[in-house]
Amino acid sequence: MIKVGIVGGTGYTGAELLRLLARHPQARVEVLTSRQEIGKRADALFPHLRGFCDVVYSAPDVATLKSCDAVFFATPHGTAMQMAQELVDAGVKVIDLSADFRLKDTQQFTRWYKHAHSAPALLREAVYGLPEIHRDEIRAARVIGNPGCHATATQLALLPLLAARAVETDTLIADSKTGISGGGRELRLGFMFSEASQTLTAYGVSGHRHQAEIDQELSAVAGATVGVTFVPHLTPMIRGIHVTAYARLLNPELDLQNLFEQHYRGEPFVDVLPAGEYPETRSVKGANICRIAVQKAPNGRTAVVLSVIDNLVKGASGQALQCFNLMFGLPETSGLDAPPLAP
Ligand SMILES: NC(=O)c1ccc[n+]([C@@H]2O[C@H](COP(=O)([O-])OP(=O)(O)OC[C@H]3O[C@@H](n4cnc5c(N)ncnc54)[C@H](OP(=O)(O)O)[C@@H]3O)[C@@H](O)[C@H]2O)c1
């Protein structure tokens, strides 16, 4: 069994890792950290895990985490970069769900995250954990910067168009809607039921942090600096991301359905819907799946791509586990093959 540690085991993505790893045939969670709940069993905090895991919280401590083969950081940004180098030096593979290892450029990191990066060498080495772009590099990686949730749904929507050089690169638009669990489990006024239900609001219009990784990755795919207008919205659902992306076609005759089907052929976790269908967020709830549909707008010049994921699964913990499987040479779908929940 591969020994796994999770730093940040009381949060939403940490709990989701516990749920997914409980069914993983070759991994076992040996170390689970919390600063607040030391000595408590995880299933006391998360009753849905009763009978599936008996791990007890301990303090986040590098010496203890070094006994693991892999450590997931399900923590706010700024935490993984403090501990990762020592773990990697000890031969532990690190998968960080925060933004600490996503951006290649330390100046970009400081611009968006407002503090200096404390492990720039490791940042240079880290691989951006989107298997649909970086599968082979992930296999060989020691450190993964797991993508953001909006960023995952947006990139998977635009990737086939940019890889095929089929669209203008400077007029891309990604309108993204997220569920409230995207904000984490920490108590915050704006995420209370009475504040966030029955309403819809945009945020981060003048600059959301996921913009930086979207620009970085899609520019590399396009071979040119892309211009993406990315606007996230908070919606009153618990899980889910829905991105509607718009791109101006260079050739209005292009067969978009065929392009998307060919691009994602063989991808285990991207489902291109039949022409004319609309993906719903609830159709991916609890599963590591991105469902995508593509159509042309009535003007015939604009590709409209609809992309849905569960923010906690393909948008976070599921994708992290997908990277873990690749890093350990396991079948990519290990622990990730359960169908979504409905309704
Ligand atoms: N929620 C999502 O949909 C989503 C999607 C993609 C990526 N992410 C990213 O994933 C990370 C975790 O998100 P989340 O939603 O799970 O957050 P969360 O629910 O707020 O949980 C954060 C966890 O981090 C721990 N923690 C906080 N500060 C720490 C520190 N200095 N040292 C060690 N542990 C610390 C907390 O545990 P204790 O306080 O008990 O120690 C808690 O378990 C974030 O970086 C987030 O941006 C989240």
Q: What is the pLDDT of residues 202-252, one digit of tens each?
A: 999 998 999 999 999 999 999 999 999 999 999 999 999 999 999 999 999
Give the model's pLDDT for residue 66: 98
Give the model's pLDDT for residue 247: 98
Catalytic residue among 53, 68, 149, 323: 149
Average pLDDT over every residue of 120-149 = 97
Beta bridge partners of 229: 173
Where are the domain boundaries for CATH 3.30.360.10 in the chain?
149-311
Q: How far is the CA of 228 from the centre of ligand 1 (A)?
A: 27
Give the model's pLDDT for residue 4: 98
Nearest CA to ligand 1 atom 15: 184
> Is the beta carbon of 178 within 6 A of some atom in ligand 1?
no
Q: How far is the CA of 90 from the centre of ligand 1 (A)?
A: 24
User: 2-125 has which CATH code?
Assistant: 3.40.50.720
pLDDT in tens, 88-119: 999 999 999 999 999 998 898 999 888 899 99
Fold of 149-311: Dihydrodipicolinate Reductase; domain 2 (3.30.360)
Give the model's pLDDT for residue 14: 98
CB atoms within 10 A of CB 248: 19
Average pLDDT over every residue of 327-343 = 96
pLDDT in tens, 4-41: 999 999 999 999 999 999 999 999 999 999 999 999 99
Radius of gyration of the CA atoms of the chain, in A:
19
CA dist 25 → 1, 28, 29 (Å): 8, 8, 12
Q: How many CA atoms, within 13 angstroms, populate the side-chain half-sphere of residue 7?
A: 29
Nearest-10 crossing angle of helices 149-163, 256-263: 110
Where are the domain boundaries for CATH 3.40.50.720 in the chain?
2-125
Give the model's pLDDT for residue 118: 92
What share of the chain has pLDDT > 70, as a percent? 100
CA 336 – CA 343 distance, rounded (Å): 20
> Is the beta carbon of 14 within 6 A of some atom in ligand 1?
yes
> Is 149 an annotated catalytic residue?
yes
Give the model's pLDDT for residue 171: 96
DSSP 33-101: E-SS-TT-BHHHH-GGGTTT---BEE---HHHHTTSSEEEE-S-TTSHHHHHHHHHHTT-EEEE-SSTT
Residue 97 CA: which ligand 1 atom is closest?
A: 10
Nearest CA to ligand 1 atom 40: 34
Nearest CA to ligand 1 atom 47: 98
